[in-house]
Copies of this chain bind each other. A is one copy, B any other.
Amino acid sequence: MEEAFTPEDRAALYRIIESRRDVRAFRSDPVPNEVLFRILTAAHHGPSVGFMQPWNFLVIRDPGTKRFVKAMCEAENGRAAMNYAGDRATLYRSLKLEGIEEAPINLCVTCDRLRSGPHVLGRNTIVDTDLYSTCCAIENLWLAARAEGVGVGWVSILNNDDLRQILGIPAEILPVAYLCIGYANEFSPIPDLERRGWADRLPLQDLIFVERWGQKV
């Protein structure tokens, strides 16, 4: 597989990366199983520390389950909203942050922290590398979905213990991401939070240091 990629291949990747969005509004038409399987295959080809592949993919379509998750999210979001005051609180409450019930698929991506035994190659000093691996897999999934025209929204305003209970996930398994998946109404040209004036994109140059922390080019 000594693949060489063409300028067109590279351009496609960069366009996919730049047009990936956190999607919160979904069409109701189903995502075909073969599309879902391609997206999950992309995730499964993510890097993992010691080739640990600590992930599982729990595919949820049941409206009852979604309803439970949605209720939990609303409760947590009520608490989260209290962190803001004034205009910021008004703006916060006006943001649509999830599409749990509209999205035809909800997907819980988990990390089995004990997979492949007590010693995982490369995971002796930094034990969270299994979580890091799972997140890299999730980004593969997100990009694959974008290329398929499928939107993904990551819902992080959740309580993991409640989520474990709803989905029957054992205590030793960490739910890393709860994703809403479905064809998107639109992929906004810029991130929603930027469009709505919540936050700006930082200039990349400000984030790059050379040789030592804080040292600019």
Contacts and interface: CB of A to CB of B under 8 A. Distances in A.
Interface of A: 1-6, 8-10, 12-20, 22, 38, 40-42, 44-47, 49-53, 55-62, 65, 76, 79-80, 83-84, 92, 95, 97, 116, 118-119, 121-126, 128-129, 131-132, 135-140, 142-144, 146-149, 154, 156-160, 167-170, 173, 176-177, 186-189, 191, 193-194, 198-199, 201-202, 204, 207-214
Given A158-B126, A198-B121, A15 B3 contact: yes
A56 B46 CA distance: 22
Given A80-B124, A139-B140, 13 more contacts: A4-B149, A20-B45, A47-B139, A49-B154, A51-B193, A51-B199, A59-B209, A60-B211, A84-B119, A128-B128, A131-B132, A140-B143, A170-B213
A2 B186 contact: yes
Contacts of A139: 46-47, 135-137, 139-140
A208 B59 contact: yes
A159 B127 CA distance: 11
A8 B2 contact: no
Contact of A136 (B61, B116, B142, B146): B142
Contacts of A157: 122, 124-125
A8 B7 CA distance: 13
A146 B207 CA distance: 22
A119 B83 contact: yes
Number of copies: 2
Contacts of A8: 8, 12
Contacts of A136: 135-136, 138-139, 142
Contacts of A211: 58-62, 65
A129 B129 CA distance: 14
Given A4-B149, A40-B208, A209-B59, A132 B135 contact: yes
Contacts of A177: 132
B10 A147 contact: yes
